[in-house]
Structure 1
Amino acid sequence: MKKEWWQEKVAYQIYPKSFKDTKGNGIGDIKGIIEKLDYLKELGIDIIWISPCFLSPLADQGYDIADYYKIDPRFGSNEDMEELISEAKKRDMYILLDLVVNHCSDEHEWFRKAVADPKGPFAKYFYFEEGVDGHEPNNWRSYFGGSVWEKVEGTENTYYLHLFHKKQPDLNWENPELREEIYKMINWWLDKGIAGFRIDAILNIKKVFPLRGHDFPVDRDDGLSNCTRMITEAEGIGDFLGEMRDRCFKPHHAFSVGEVFNETEAQIPEFIGENGYFSSMFDFRAHSSARSELGWYDAGIVTPNMYRDACFLTQKLVNPVGFISTIIENHDEPRGVSFYIPKEDLSEKAKKFLATMQMLQRGLPFIYQGQEIGMENVVLTSIREVDDISTLDEYEVCLREGFSEEEALRIVNRYSRDNARTPVQWDSSKNAGFTTGTPWLPLNPNYKKINVAQQEKDPESVLSYYKKLTALRKNPEYKETMVYGDFVPFMADEDRLMAFYRKGEKTLLILGNYRKEERELELPAPVKKLVLSNTEPRITGRKIVLSGYEATILEV
C-alpha cells in the first residue's frame, strides 16, 4: 500500500452547533473551535472534520446548504474560517469540511432560479417530473419519511425530487454544467487551505432512469418503498466519483472520506483501493447490523458478539485493499457507549474497553466530540424535547404501528440523532460551560458528573485513557505496527471476547473481555511487555485472568 500523509493521524469530528459557543446565543461557533484547538492538540488530534457550517435554513441542521461559499452568520464568518485554518496549521493540524452535494437547500439561488424559470438552464440542475394519474411520479419513500416528491408551488402536476427533506432538492449530477459548479466550489475551498472533505450521502447522486413511473415493491403500509433500493439498481456512479477525484482531490493531495453504506465486497477497491474514488470511507457495519427496513421499532440490539463480528468482517474485507475509517458514533448515530455496551454494564471501565477496541483496529480512527469523555445518550421525557427530523418521523411510524406514546418514545430514544447532538460537557458550571445563554438543545443532565474539566484532573478518567491511546498510536516504538500492521483475529468464536493481533514490526495482542464476568485465557506466546490496559492485569506465566470489561494490550 502506498503510504499517505493522513494515515498515521487521529481524526476528530466537530458538530459546530453543539461544540462551544463564544457569543452567548446558545449556538456553537467557529471561534469556539479556535478556542479549543489546544485542547484537541493535547488529546492527540491531527485532523478535524467540521459538520456543515455554511449558510443554511437548518431544515436538516446544515445539511441543506443555501450558499456553499458562505459561512452561516450563526457560526461566524468566512474570515473566522480562514483564521481557523491558519491556527490549525500553526499546530500541525488539518481541517476537513463537509461536502454535501447530493442535494442543496430549496433556498439556494440555483433552485430559486429553476422554479422561477422551468425552461431555463437552472431547471436542469434538479429533477422535475410530471405526476402520474394524479399522484407523485413514483412510489419512493424519502429517508425522513413520506414521498421523495414534492409538488412545485403554483403548478398543478409538477414535482421535484428530494431523497431527504422536502427543503433538500436533489442535484442533477447528469448535468455536466452542475458538476462543473461543484468542482469549482470544491477547488475554491481546497485553495483556501482546507485538507479535504468528508463526503455526505454520496451514493445517492446516481439515479435510475426514467424516474417517472419507476416504482419499487411496496415495503410498508404507507404504500411506498425505501429509496435506498435505487442505490443497488443504479449503475455508473464511478464516472462521477472518478471525475471528482481527478478534478479536485488528486491535484490538491487532499484527503477524502466517504459516507458509504452497504457497499459490496467488489466495490471496496473501487472506493478506497490504490486509485479509489476516496482516500477512505467510514465503517458503519456494526451500527447497521441490527437495522430494519421497517423502522426503528423493528430494529434489534447490537450484541457484543455482533459488534465484534461486524468489526472483524470489515477488517477482513478492507485490509488487503485500503484504509477504513473507524467510528463508534457520529452526529447521525446515538452515543456509542450507550449503543454497544449493555445498559446494565455501562461504566468508565467499559467505556475505556470500547475505546481500545476502536483505536486498536487497523484504520484511521475518528473520535466524535464528547466521545473522549464518555458522553452518554439522553433520557427523553417527551417528544417535545426532540429536534431531529428523523426521530420525529420514526416516532410517528411507531404510533402508526400501534405502540403507545410511552413505548414510541422509548424506542426512538435509543436511536435518536439528538443523543449525539446535545452540547459538549466542558465543566460542571451552568450549561456545562458550553454557553452563557440558553443552549439550542437541552444538555444531558449528567454533565455535572461527566465533563472535560473534571476528567482533565483525573489520571484515571476516560479522557486520560483516550490520550494514552492516541499517544500509543504515535509512539515510534509501536506506530508502524498500530498504523500499518496486519489485523488478525484471536479466538474469534469465543463468546463475548473481542481479541486480535496487530502484526508488523512488533506483535501486539489486544484482549477485550466484553462482559462483566471474569475469564481465564491461555496466552498463545510469552508476554514481552504490558503496553497498556484499562485495569491492573493478572498474568501468571502463560495465563491471564481478564476481569469484566478488561482491555489489555500486550507485546508478545
Structure 2
Amino acid sequence: MKAKWWKESVVYQIYPSSFKDANGDGIGDLKGIMSKLDYIKELGVDVIWICPIYQSPNHDNGYDISDYCAIQPQFGTMEDFDRLLREIHSRGMKLMMDLVLNHTSSDHPWFIESKSSVDNPKRDYYIWRKGKNGGPPNNWESYFSGSVWEYDASTGEYYMHLYAKQQPDLNWDNERVVDELHEMVAWWLKKGVDGFRFDAVAHIVKAQGLPDGDNPNKLPTVRAYQLFSNLKRVHTLLQNLNDRVLYYYDIMTVGETSGLGPEKALEYVGDTRRELNMVFQFEHMYLDAASPGSGKWDIKSWSLLDLKKVMSQWQTVLHDKGWNANYLGNHDQPRSVSRFGNDLQCRIPSAKMLATFLLTLEGTPYIYQGEEIGMTNPAFDSIDDYRDVETLNFYHEKRDQGIPEEEVMKAVRRKSRDNARTPMQWDNTDHAGFTSGTPWIDVNSNYMEVNAANAVKDPDSIYNYYKEMIKLRKEHPILVYGEYHLLLPDDPDIYAYTRTSNEGTILVILNFYGREPVFKAPKSIVMEGAVLLISNYAPLKDENTSELVLRPYEARVYLMS
C-alpha cells in the first residue's frame, strides 16, 4: 500500500460559528480559532478542516456562498485568514477548506445576473426550466423539504435548488461555469491551503432530461435522489478538475457522497481513478432510520450487528484499492456520544470507547470539535431554541400535517443538525467561555461539567484519552495501513477486530453497551503474551485474557505476540 501523508493524518473539524468568538459578537471567528491552535496541536492533530468561511448571507450557515474569494465579515478579513494559515503551518499542521461546488447563494453575482432575464449571458450558469402542467418542471423533493424548484415570477421560469431556495444549483453542463470554478479552486491552492472537503459533490450532475421520479403514492414531491446523486458524469468532471488543477498540488481531498456503498465509492477513490483521496459515506449515519428511504427524522434504535456489517464492508472493500474517511459525528449529525454511546450514566467510558473505535479503523479519522471532550446533544425544550433551516422546515411541515408537538420535538432532539452546532464548551465561565457576548445559539446546559478546561487538566479525561489514542496510532503504522479483519460478527454486544500488516497484529475489543459481556477469543487469536496497549478502564489483576469480562463500554487494544 502506498504511503501518503493524508493517510497518516488525524483531522480536526471546526464549525467556525460555534468554535470560539474573539470579538464578543456571539459568533465564532478566525481570531478565535487562532487563539485555540495550541489546544488543537496539543491533541496531536495534523489537519484542521474548517467549515465554510466565505462571504455568505447565512441561510444555511455558510453553505450558501455569495463570494468564493472573500471572507465572511463576521469571521474576519482575508488578512485574518492569511495569518491563520501561517499560524497553522508554523505549528506543523495543515488546513483543509470546505468548498461548495454544487450550488451558490442566491445572492451570488452570477445568480443575480442569471435571474435578471432569460437572455442574460449568465442565465445558463444555473438550471432554469419552464413549468409543467401548471406546476414545477418535475416532482423532485429537496433535501430541506418541498420541491427542488422555485418559481421566479419576473422571468416566468423555475430554478433548481436541491437544498434551500436560497441555494440555486450551478449548471455543470456549462463549460464557462466549470472554468470559473476551476480558476477559483486554483486561487485557493496558490494561497497555500492543503486540501478541500467538497460539499455535496455527488450532486453536481442531474439526470438528462430531468425526468420525474417514481411516484407510487401520488405525492406532490418524491425523493428522487437516484436522479441527482452519483451519476456517471460526476466522475468525468472530477477527473477533469484533478487533471487541470488538483494534480499539481500535494493536497488531500474528501468528497461528501451520500447514497453509495463501498463498491461504488471506489469509482471516486480508487487508486487509479484520478478523482478524490477519500469520501464521506453515510450508511452508518442511517442505521437509526426506521426504514430505507424514510429520511433521517423517522427514528429507530440502531443495531451493533448492522454497524459491524456496514463498517466491515467499507473496511474490506476499500483495502489496498482506495481509502476511507472515518467519522462518527460532524456538523450535520448528532453528537456521537449521544448517538452511539451513553451520554448520561456512562458518558466518559463510552466516549473513550468511541474514540478507540474511530482511531483504530483503516482510514483517516475525523474528530469533530467537542467530540474530544465528550460534548452531548443539548435537548432544547422549545423549537425556538433551534436555528438550523433543515430542522425548522421539518418542524413546521410536520406540525402543519397535524403531528403532535412532542412527537416532532422528539425527532428534533435526536437528529437536528443543531445538536452539533451549540458553542464549544471551553470552561465553566459564562457561555462556557465561548463568547463575552450573547451566543448565536444557546450553550448546552451541562457546560459546567463538560468543558475543555476541566478535560485538559484531568489526566483521566476524554481529551487526554484522545491524545493517547492519537499517539498510539502514530507509533504503530499497523493502525494506519494494517488490514482489517472482523471477529465475532454475530456478537450483539462486542465489536472486535484485528489490524494486521507485516509488522504484526493489533487486536481491538469494544463493548458497545452498558452490559458486561464475556469476550472469548476465537481459535485464530492467541491471547497468551498479548500486550495491552491502551484501555479506557484500569486493568484488572490476574485476569484470564482468554475470557475477558468486559465492563460497560470498555475498550481494549492489544499488540499480539
TM-score interval for Structure 1 and Structure 2 normalised by the shorter chain = over 0.9
Instruction: Specify the SS of the correspondent of 1:311.
Output: helix
Are residues 1:497 and 2:501 paired?
no
Q: Judging changes above 3 Å, is the alpha-carbon distance between structure 1 residues 407 and 320 closer, same or farther for their aligned structure 2 residues?
A: same
Are residues 1:172 and 2:171 paired?
yes
User: Counterpart amino acid of 1:375?
Assistant: M
Cα distance in 2 for partners of 1:279, 1:541 equals 39
Deviation for aligned residue 1:262: 2.1
Q: Judging changes above 3 Å, is the alpha-carbon distance between structure 1 residues 522 and 90 closer, same or farther for their aligned structure 2 residues?
A: same
**How many equivalent pairs are there?**
550
Cα distance in 1 for partners of 2:328, 2:546 equals 32
User: Counterpart amino acid of 2:248?
Assistant: P
Q: Which residue of 2 aligns with 1:268?
A: 265
Q: Which residue of 1 aligns with 2:309?
A: 309
Deviation for aligned residue 1:297: 4.5
Q: Judging changes above 3 Å, is the alpha-carbon distance between structure 1 residues 469 and 192 closer, same or farther for their aligned structure 2 residues?
A: same
User: Counterpart amino acid of 1:229?
Assistant: Q
Comparing 86-95 and 397-406, the one that deviates more? 397-406
User: Counterpart amino acid of 1:160?
Assistant: Y
Deviation for aligned residue 1:304: 2.8
Deviation for aligned residue 1:225: 0.9
User: Counterpart amino acid of 1:198?
Assistant: R
Cα distance in 1 for partners of 2:481, 2:198 equals 24
User: Counterpart amino acid of 2:191?
Assistant: K
Q: Judging changes above 3 Å, is the alpha-carbon distance between structure 1 residues 109 and 264 closer, same or farther for their aligned structure 2 residues?
A: same
Comparing 82-91 and 532-541, the one that deviates more? 532-541
Matches within 5 A, 1:10-49: 10-49=10-49
User: Counterpart amino acid of 1:173?
Assistant: W
Comparing 258-267 and 57-66, the one that deviates more? 258-267
Comparing 530-539 and 93-102, the one that deviates more? 530-539
Q: Which residue of 2 aligns with 1:215?
A: 212
Q: Which residue of 2 aligns with 1:544?
A: 548
Q: Which residue of 2 aligns with 1:439?
A: 439
Matches within 5 A, 1:508-523: 508-523=506-521
Q: Judging changes above 3 Å, is the alpha-carbon distance between structure 1 residues 541 and 234 closer, same or farther for their aligned structure 2 residues?
A: closer
Q: Judging changes above 3 Å, is the alpha-carbon distance between structure 1 residues 9 and 235 closer, same or farther for their aligned structure 2 residues?
A: closer
Cα distance in 2 for partners of 1:117, 1:515 equals 59
Cα distance in 2 for partners of 1:141, 1:533 equals 46
**1:296-322, Cα deviation, whole Å (9 max, x unpaired):** 442322233332332222212222321
Instruction: Specify the SS of the correspondent of 1:298.
Output: coil
Query: Which runs of at least 4 in structure 1 moved beyond 4 Å after TM superposition?
Result: 219-222, 342-345
Comparing 228-237 and 255-264, the one that deviates more? 228-237
Deviation for aligned residue 1:3: 1.8
Deviation for aligned residue 1:114: 1.1
User: Counterpart amino acid of 2:548?
Assistant: I
Matches within 5 A, 1:74-473: 74-155=74-155, 157-211=156-210, 214-218=211-215, 222-231=219-228, 234-276=231-273, 277-291=275-289, 292=291, 293-341=293-341, 346-400=346-400, 402-473=402-473
Cα distance in 1 for partners of 2:497, 2:351 equals 19
Deviation for aligned residue 1:545: 2.2
**1:335-364, Cα deviation, whole Å (9 max, x unpaired):** 111111256654211111111111111110
Cα distance in 1 for partners of 2:204, 2:185 equals 16
Cα distance in 1 for partners of 2:531, 2:164 equals 54
User: Counterpart amino acid of 1:529?
Assistant: V
Deviation for aligned residue 1:241: 1.0
Cα distance in 2 for partners of 1:384, 1:169 equals 27
Deviation for aligned residue 1:397: 4.0
Cα distance in 2 for partners of 1:446, 1:339 equals 17
Q: Which residue of 1 aligns with 2:531?
A: 529
Deviation for aligned residue 1:453: 0.1
Deviation for aligned residue 1:222: 4.6
Cα distance in 2 for partners of 1:406, 1:264 equals 35
TM normalised by structure 2 equals: 0.95
Q: Judging changes above 3 Å, is the alpha-carbon distance between structure 1 residues 23 and 220 closer, same or farther for their aligned structure 2 residues?
A: farther
User: Counterpart amino acid of 2:550?
Assistant: L
Deviation for aligned residue 1:226: 1.2
Cα distance in 1 for partners of 2:442, 2:209 equals 45
Instruction: Specify the SS of the correspondent of 2:232.
Output: coil
Equivalent residues of 1:268, 1:321 under 8 A apart: no
Deviation for aligned residue 1:402: 4.1
The gaps in structure 2 that reach 5 residues or longer are: none
Instruction: Specify the SS of the correspondent of 1:113.
Output: helix
Q: Judging changes above 3 Å, is the alpha-carbon distance between structure 1 residues 110 and 437 closer, same or farther for their aligned structure 2 residues?
A: same
Instruction: Specify the SS of the correspondent of 2:245.
Output: helix
Cα distance in 1 for partners of 2:41, 2:251 equals 21
Q: Judging changes above 3 Å, is the alpha-carbon distance between structure 1 residues 231 and 151 closer, same or farther for their aligned structure 2 residues?
A: closer
Q: Judging changes above 3 Å, is the alpha-carbon distance between structure 1 residues 78 and 51 closer, same or farther for their aligned structure 2 residues?
A: same
Equivalent residues of 1:220, 1:294 under 8 A apart: no
Q: In percent, how many aligned pairs have the same letter? A: 39
Q: Judging changes above 3 Å, is the alpha-carbon distance between structure 1 residues 107 and 222 closer, same or farther for their aligned structure 2 residues?
A: same
Cα distance in 2 for partners of 1:462, 1:287 equals 23
Deviation for aligned residue 1:407: 1.5
Equivalent residues of 2:22, 2:32 under 8 A apart: yes
Equivalent residues of 1:334, 1:420 under 8 A apart: yes
Equivalent residues of 1:219, 1:226 under 8 A apart: no
Cα distance in 2 for partners of 1:28, 1:175 equals 36
Deviation for aligned residue 1:541: 5.2
**1:101-132, Cα deviation, whole Å (9 max, x unpaired):** 10000100001111123212211111111111
Cα distance in 1 for partners of 2:148, 2:362 equals 38
Equivalent residues of 2:287, 2:303 under 8 A apart: no
**1:145-189, Cα deviation, whole Å (9 max, x unpaired):** 11111112423x311111111011100001111000000000000
Deviation for aligned residue 1:288: 1.8
Instruction: Specify the SS of the correspondent of 1:431.
Output: helix
Cα distance in 1 for partners of 2:492, 2:150 equals 49
Equivalent residues of 2:342, 2:350 under 8 A apart: no
Q: Judging changes above 3 Å, is the alpha-carbon distance between structure 1 residues 514 and 25 closer, same or farther for their aligned structure 2 residues?
A: same
Cα distance in 1 for partners of 2:216, 2:456 equals 50
User: Counterpart amino acid of 1:268?
Assistant: A
Equivalent residues of 1:13, 1:368 under 8 A apart: yes
Instruction: Specify the SS of the correspondent of 1:238.
Output: helix
TM normalised by structure 1 equals: 0.96
Equivalent residues of 1:372, 1:463 under 8 A apart: yes
Which of 539, 547, 558 in structure 2 is aligned with 1:554? 558
Cα distance in 2 for partners of 1:229, 1:124 equals 24
Cα distance in 1 for partners of 2:126, 2:545 equals 67
Equivalent residues of 2:297, 2:415 under 8 A apart: no
Equivalent residues of 2:97, 2:193 under 8 A apart: yes
Equivalent residues of 2:260, 2:281 under 8 A apart: no
Cα distance in 2 for partners of 1:165, 1:449 equals 37
Cα distance in 2 for partners of 1:50, 1:474 equals 23
Equivalent residues of 2:305, 2:489 under 8 A apart: no
Equivalent residues of 1:329, 1:368 under 8 A apart: yes
Equivalent residues of 1:351, 1:462 under 8 A apart: yes
Deviation for aligned residue 1:529: 1.1
Deviation for aligned residue 1:400: 4.9
